Amino acid sequence: MIKLRLLFLFAPALSSAVSIVLSNDDGWAEKNIRVFYDALVASGQNVLISAPAIDRSGTGSTDATPVQLGSSGCEFSSCPGGAPAIGNNASEPRLNYVNAYPVTAMRYGIQNLSQTILGGPPDLAVSGFNVGGNAGGTVLISGTVGAASEAAKEGVPAIAFSGATGSQVGWQTTTETYQKVYADLSSNVTNTLIKAGKPYLPDGIWLNVNYPSVSDKTCSSASSFVFVLSRINSGSGNDVKTCGSTTLPSESQVIKAGCYASISVAYAANKTDASIDSQKFVVDKLGSYLGCLS
């Protein structure tokens, strides 16, 4: 089958901004979340970051009351030792940290920060893009996934993004190819869903998106990618029919196939694959944006 390329890679900013809360588990000052934030803002969206003060990778849906920072302060020296439990960048109040877990930070962004910064409840929540993949069983321990599923529980449609390439680096480092590619892909998925109109997703549903490795020579631009509807766990013929089959490929199958990105539809309650009806809803929303493995 002919590969379907990204439809909105060079699309102009959307005419009506959508309010978005952005979180992760790698921390508010990690480079990936800042590059993604910049891409969403450049596309015309109304965005705030509400993410952990320090790296909270692998914490799943752990939750806790935010506490004052210790002597080391925030990650990458982004806030001083002894800083308050919740704070922001003095020159850009849309960049916020919460010294707790991804779930806590996402919920605080939705319930509190969105009211003062976005002017009301967010329309959408996004998480990531994570340093490292979150395919298959890793969704159960991923803080990036935990943040997205928490948003869905709060009634906000959500997407978790994860990429195989990279390591944790600070926001002030030079932007690498993989970061630019993952940010373009993630903002394209977000904007494609927005363009399809509300409701963006069924109640209690979030999307899990995973990207394969990217380098200067391999999958080096967003336009080289194809998005494929997938499953978190292997299926057996009980999925929505796409690409001539009622069994969707697993996320691992997709991202191991080359320049393909997986999109799975999941329940917030247990982080498992959603029903055929929810899968079909997403297929109808994303339409020709989805392709097939060749």
In sequence order, what are the beta bridge partners of 273?
Answer: 266
227 lies in a domain?
A: no
CA–CA gap between residue 183 and residue 291 (Å, rounded): 20
290 lies in some domain: no
* Residue 294 within any structural domain of the chain: no
Residue 115 lies in a domain: yes
In this prediction, residue 2 has a pLDDT band, given cuts at 50, 70 and 90, of: very low
pLDDT of residue 278: 98
Of 134-148, 154-168, 230-244, least confident by mean pLDDT is 230-244
In the structure, what pLDDT confidence band is assigned to residue 1 with cuts at 50, 70 and 90? very low
- Domains identified in the chain, total number: 1
278 CB-near residues (< 8 Å, 6+ apart): 201, 202, 205, 265
Query: Which tens digit of pLDDT belongs to each residue from 156-202?
Result: 999 999 999 999 999 999 999 999 999 999 999 999 999 999 999 99
pTM: 0.94
Pick from 289, 268, 128, 125: which is nearest to 209 by CA? 128
Whether the per-residue pLDDT at 253 is higher than 60: the answer is yes
DSSP-assigned states of every residue in 105-134 = HHHHIIIIIIIIIISSS-SEEEEEEEES--
How many residues are listed for the chain in this entry?
A: 294
Q: What is the pLDDT of residues 45-62, one digit of tens each?
A: 999 999 999 999 999 999
The whole-chain average pLDDT of the chain stands at 94
Residues 28, 22: Cα–Cα separation, whole Å: 10
Other beta carbons less than 10 A from residue 172's beta carbon: 11
Domain for residue 45, yes or no?
Answer: yes
Of 110, 152, 127, whose CA–CA distance to 27 is shortest? Answer: 127
Tens of pLDDT, residue by residue over 53-98, are: 999 999 999 999 999 999 999 999 999 999 999 999 999 999 999 9
Any domain includes 32:
yes
**Residue 117 binned pLDDT confidence (cut-offs 50, 70, 90):** very high
Which pLDDT belongs to residue 294? 87
The residue type at 238? N
The answer on pLDDT for 105 being more than 90 is yes
State the residue range of the domain holding 146: 19-204+264-274
Measured in degrees and rounded to the nearest 5, phi and psi for residue 120 equal 155, -175
Q: CATH number of the domain that 167 lies in?
A: 3.40.1210.10
In a domain, 63, yes or no: yes
